Amino acid sequence: MSDETTNPLREEIAGAISENPVILFMKGTPDQPACGFSARTVAILQSLGRPFAAVDVLPDPRIRQELAELSNWPTIPQLFVDGELVGGCDIVTEMYQSGELQETLGLDAVSAEAAPEAQAQEAAPLSIENRL
């Protein structure tokens, strides 16, 4: 039941997702990740040299709760590109290894040929709601 009740925190999160082409919700900060999964995801993004916005979910438990409801995804980290949830650490790692992540980020896909054709997840224009 997603009613339209105004929720400032959730709107702020949705706003951050739509305003930043690449944004990572994580535990800790890129300089000081507070969880191994967040650390690994940061390391992958940094290795690709693509600037990204980062939000630390730890200072306020409500951030995590609102984000989970907004994205329909239970775990942290969560990477969004062009307003769409790309995934957490597992998916980001898998996509990095196949070259899909580089493609999604608009970088030269070094090993794009190796990527399975299945679903080249095209970055859709900014949309806050996460259908799927």
Partner 1 sequence: MSATPEELKQRIEAGIPGAAAEVTGDGHHFYAVVSAPEFSGLNRIAQHRRVYEVFGSEVGDRIHALSIQTKLPQEAA
Chain residues that interact with partner 1, rule: CB under 8 A: 37, 72-75, 85-91, 94, 119, 121, 132
Q: Do 53 and 22 meet the contact criterion of CB atoms below 8 Å apart?
A: yes
Cα(125)–Cα(96) distance, integer angstroms: 22
Sheet of strand 22-26, all strands in order from the earlier edge strand to the far edge: 53-56, 22-26, 78-81, 84-87
Q: Between 4 and 99, whose beta carbon lies closer to partner 1?
A: 99
Q: How far is the CB of 87 from partner 1 (least distance, A)?
A: 6
Q: How far is the CB of 58 from partner 1 (least distance, A)?
A: 13
Cα(96)–Cα(56) distance, integer angstroms: 22
Q: Between 28 and 88, whose beta carbon lies closer to partner 1?
A: 88
The secondary structure element, H or E, covering residue 80 is strand 78-81
Q: Between 52 and 80, whose beta carbon lies closer to partner 1?
A: 80
Q: Between 87 and 99, whose beta carbon lies closer to partner 1?
A: 87
Rg (CA), the chain: 15
Q: How far is the CB of 54 from partner 1 (least distance, A)?
A: 20
